[in-house]
Structure 1
């Protein structure tokens, strides 16, 4: 063992179990929570024939209006090739369209269609009761507290990443 490295009597193994003090524990817990939330939201979207990756793009289009594909990739944390496939899927389903950008012959902006807005709204209604399952075990007020804490973690005030 290197003399410069402090010796630990009991090495900490990263887990996602309650009480883990590993420096990786928070990230692992967030990953497990994401998987659980994604499963519930996927269940809500299944009747509409779309996946979370499609819905993430619809969210961006509803919030931002017509958006360049490269900006959709950034907004959804998706690479350029994957965002192209998602937009292709949405176009085939009639939920979004690509339109020419005035002044740039090569650029295309993606825009949600009226059918896409209708699906977006209907999915929210369906997801409402399912989302409640995610927070069933929390005490009154804890759901709001969790949302506030995750919002601060995901969107730090100082812009740090």
Structure 2
């Protein structure tokens, strides 16, 4: 990009406010980034708790995300698993390879499409899926232990509305 165009983009349509709050990523952050930064921190915290629950079972969050989709959808082609889990083609192939090596999923040919493979959860995968829920129960309670009565439910409601906005887009 040429320098003149860059300077124009950097100054055009950018409000010149000297009182705008700057991102701090600390409590009380009033910047336009505050909500995103809070959600990132909340994700890190929740992910660490979920990882703790899954570690003894020999899987990671990325594996569990695929198992969730397979339990909800049934046999699913890899490209749809990639889209549903926010993965790319190479990433989903590695995850499915891992799960297949552990005997948790199998790949099957898709009738009418020689290149596509559907991924299906095995009975061992379903058992592990159930075991993950049992392992997560006490950790999930610890995750919200600092919240007051009714607050975990309120937080879940707000995040559900935020993440699953009407129109089907997250």
TM-score w.r.t. structure 2 length? 0.88
For the pair 1:156 / 2:149, whether they are aligned, the reply is no
SS state at 1:14 partner: coil
| CA distance in structure 2 between the aligned counterparts of 1:5 and 1:104, rounded to whole angstroms | 50
**How much does 1:102 deviate?**
1.4
Q: Residues 106 and 144 of structure 1: is their aligned pair in 2 closer, same or farther, counting only changes over 3 Å?
A: same
| CA distance in structure 2 between the aligned counterparts of 1:11 and 1:109, rounded to whole angstroms | 51
Backbone CA RMSD of aligned residues = 1.7
- Range moving further from structure 2, 33-42 or 149-158: 149-158
Match of 2:110 among 87, 93, 101: 101
| CA distance in structure 2 between the aligned counterparts of 1:4 and 1:106, rounded to whole angstroms | 48
Residue of structure 2 in register with 1:68 after alignment? 77
Q: Greater Rg, structure 1 or structure 2?
A: 2
The Cα offsets for residues 52-77 of structure 1, whole Å up to 9 and x where unpaired, read as: 00000000000110000000001100
**How much does 1:12 deviate?**
2.1
Q: Residues 15 and 102 of structure 1: is their aligned pair in 2 closer, same or farther, counting only changes over 3 Å?
A: same
Question: How many aligned positions are there?
Answer: 160
The Cα offsets for residues 63-102 of structure 1, whole Å up to 9 and x where unpaired, read as: 1100000000011000110000000000000000100111
The Cα offsets for residues 96-151 of structure 1, whole Å up to 9 and x where unpaired, read as: 01001112122110000000000000010000110111111111111111111111
**How much does 1:158 deviate?**
3.1
Gaps of 5+ in 1: none
The Cα offsets for residues 4-33 of structure 1, whole Å up to 9 and x where unpaired, read as: 755434452213222111111100100000
For the pair 1:91 / 2:100, whether they are aligned, the reply is yes
Gaps of 5+ in 2: 1-10
